[in-house]
Structure 1
């Protein structure tokens, strides 16, 4: 409030709070809050008390006092708080600093590598020059030139003389079983090796560390943007475009005949560790999960699955999907593979000691804990018209998954 208003009950204090009880709006001070604390032990009594300054800058808080506001609208606007701009800018500045630091390190590595290559080439040229001196290469080249001139003039007697000189040239180098030449060549070789070993090749370990920091800060920025602007019904995946995300979400909503209230990124391989235990630590006890994988195999196939039933790492058995809403998808091939009715009891295997992901009998998507090995019997439990009851490279682009990145999203239905 722009002007100071003194509390009617406690004149020595200024009004700082508003009590938004239905049909009973009051203003109060810090002493009024203290009196309420003394009189009441129920924390719910304070849920309708707001700081005047806070509520004046956060109009969305008034929505909580309107009884007929839709829950989804309330959830959306509740996420838009006054700290949004500050948080986003702080996250962006952190990302920008990491980006600029990474650029500086790249420039520095390029400069160091250039100096290294230049010194290496100088070493190489010096070694070749010494070799030329040891084998009297210039004399040999002159003999070749003389041979060419004599050949043009058809001077057969001169050609014979030059051929003889060339023979003598090699004989002189080979005298005493080329003992002297071998010693010289050995010395030149060792000098080359010593000089190469003394060159300071750039260390890219620091660059790799900076790159990981850059990835993390980028993920933090995207995550914060999603939270702050409340993209609650978007996946914002780095593996598939938003258009395909919307297609998958629309398919899920149609199968469940329910709306998706919120989407949360539970697991990101590059952030949380690309291994089975890290994955299960994030998804244990969750349901309505979307798995998205990117393979390092030729073609970089992208594929995944929606699993509606709850996953439980202590189950050590199959989990059934009675809704038959689970499916496998291939973004690369633009195909959907729904769960067969006869196989609904084999929607997903919860056995973390053996597998990171095992979807369908025989592993329609079978990925071991190292995210490298596995198999795909696509069609055994999830419908595929080309199923031949054998391992397939259709999803992976190879015999094994060889996963480069994995994202797992939780849908709140």
Structure 2
């Protein structure tokens, strides 16, 4: 891109974009230093490097106030290029020269994996360009260059207004629409890739016992190049009930409500392993907080709830001042937040019962994990959805009849 001089500072050029809710501004290095001195909490991470953004839509997208998990994904994606991948492969190639021909097949699998990452990156980049209308962003640079020697403050300000409108449209509704488009896109790419160890490296098992040092090297490499799909790697979930897209919605809901980043989900209870009973339940959950509970009914419905409140023997109703408690239905693809008027009744904690959410018992499971009821809509909001039959909506039947239950303690950074 042609260098455009800054009108405020001699011998300085417009290299960056500072954008926020109110405006978008082209700035130079001196402008950037002045802003840093002027504002104690100046947000460097939101500054867009123009040349880098023109070459890398993932750099541009990482500066737009996305959810924490999506922003982390694109920050990581920006690090992967031919040089990085080739460097990793050369390290492997050096080690391969010291071992037998049995490892040649393994090398080809690793090479294919690296090519797959780069190929996926290109596909994601192509889709990103469509989603964020990247051609419009590029046009701003073209328009700026076309000003040529006739550059003036009025022309720059007009360009900046149009640029600001572009960012406003892209990030409208706090990036909710953009976040969802990116989650849907990444979910499609996730389904295309085979993430299991055995599927990626069928030849590797043949030499595992003979080359333990190589296994350690390969595992390190695999961890290094495995991208964090919207936080899935750092927020490990080992269960079988929740889908990838549902997990991302739960992660985004918890992180946005509590303003914390999730590190992982630690399983503390599994009904099929520990027993579907009130005693088994309380043996695992007593004195624990930040619990995510997932239920599968015998009719096949999958639902659950999260609350930061601590589950303790005989405490009765517990208040959630953070309003971060919520229920969800994966079957219906819906989330039901706690009503502010009912924050004092987020959960009911008593060892004579199983898990209970809400004052009117939006979820009420007895000690047998088969009986009682659901009265969705009492303490948790469901009136934003139409055609809800409150008593059967979550479990698909009038009584819970739980076939499986997973409970995780959410661990934060």
Q: Provide TM-score, normalisation by structure 1.
A: 0.42
Which of the pair has more CA radius of gyration?
A: 1
**What TM-score, normalized to structure 2?**
0.42
